[in-house]
Amino acid sequence: MPSGRRVMTVRVAVAGASGYAGGEVVRLLLGHPGVELGALTAFSQAGQAVGAVHPHLGPVAGRVFEPMSAQALAGHDVVFLALPHGESAALAEGLGPDVVVIDMGADFRLRDAGVWERFYGSPWAGCWPYGLPELPGAREALAGARRIAVPGCYPTAVTLALFPAVGAGLVDREVVVTAVSGTSGAGRALKPHLLGAEVMGSVSPYAVGGTHRHTPEIAQNLTAVTDGEPVSVSFTPLLAPMPRGILATCSARLTPGTDARQVRAVYEKTYADEPFVSLLPEGVWPSTGAVLGSNQVQVQVAVDPAADRLVVVSAIDNLTKGTAGGALQSMNLALGLPETTGLPRTGLAP
């Protein structure tokens, strides 16, 4: 990993390191050659050993979570925020303009204050550069950025599946999405329906009917590639019996005259040079198992002539590309490092 040598070492803190997203950031930072791991802060877990909360993080098992505070986070070049929404703005203010602040929460994702308030029921905190490098113009916006909003896990999977077709006008602007997620997507919340005994052997939906908070984020991303023509999103998330992974099944009606060849050509062109997006060979379909623990996105397209619809399926690891990996990818861009530095390209299978 020669890039490991060309880069200066940056000092990185993680605020909210005791949750699943925080733990995944630490896992990836431990493999990043240009990073020195600084403070790891937590709320209720403060004072506990990292190894007691994240037994898989052997190399830092003996370290202790510090209480959440401005002082604890001071003196770092980069600070990742893995906090419940509503917590990030105040913390970010205290960190100074030169610190790279990367928010893995929702606070700075939405551009429309009214939409934010309708879905989150709290005052809008603002909007930061959006950390999805594969979107048109995103890399330019992220280069040198000091504030970055990491996309939600579902919006990452769905946007990368649909924006090429929507942007190229291959389909109409009423997309229908069903996305299956592993249960880590719900975080380490102590709720009965997340207990192993309830989860194993069962698939169930939630937030049906457009109420999931990721719905407006998906719409915002797709509308951005249609010169502002609004895109309607029917989004249904499902919980499946696996720890990690999102498989998004996305469809929309084909624009008259569009055929499979054109569709494939658009996706091939869009993703030809993307390091983390794999348009699979024809006939091969994505699976969450194939991207487990990696920053890869698997994408495949199909035209259904009878139903006159385009179907696009994408697979990601919700905690890696969907959260912490995407965050590191944006950090690399903000710091001028090679975009792929420290990010796994292979999944863990079987």
Q: Which one, 327 or 334, has the nearer CB to a copy of itself?
A: 327
Q: Which one, 97 or 196, has the nearer CB to a copy of itself?
A: 196
DSSP characters for 37-52?
EEEEEESTTTTSBHHH
Q: Are 8 and 34 in contact (CB under 8 A)?
A: yes
293 is a contact residue toward a copy of itself (CB under 8 A): yes
Pairwise CA distance, residues 162 & 309, whole Å: 13
Binding to a copy of itself (CB under 8 A) within 6-25 occurs at: 20, 23
Quote the least distance from Cβ 9 to a copy of itself, whole Å.
13
Q: Which one, 41 or 251, has the nearer CB to a copy of itself?
A: 251
**Residue 153 catalytic?**
yes
Q: Which of 112, 172, 198, 274 binds a copy of itself (CB under 8 A)?
A: 198
Q: Which one, 210 or 336, has the nearer CB to a copy of itself?
A: 210
Residue found by looking up tokens 């994240």 in the block: 54
300 is a contact residue toward a copy of itself (CB under 8 A): yes
Residue found by looking up tokens 């937030």 in the block: 207
Question: ∠ CA 143-144-147 to the nearest 5 degrees?
Answer: 105
Pairwise CA distance, residues 150 & 158, whole Å: 15
Binding to a copy of itself (CB under 8 A) within 208-227 occurs at: 208-210, 215
x-marked contacts with a copy of itself along 252-281 as a string, rule CB under 8 A: -x------------------------x-xx
Binding to a copy of itself (CB under 8 A) within 35-94 occurs at: 49, 51-52, 54-59, 61
Q: What is the largest CA-CA distance in the chain?
A: 62
Residues comprising the chain, all counted: 350
284 is a contact residue toward a copy of itself (CB under 8 A): yes
Q: Which tokens is 279 given?
A: 């348009």
Quote the least distance from Cβ 62 to a copy of itself, whole Å.
9
Name the H helices within 257-309: 260-271
Residues that are catalytic: 153
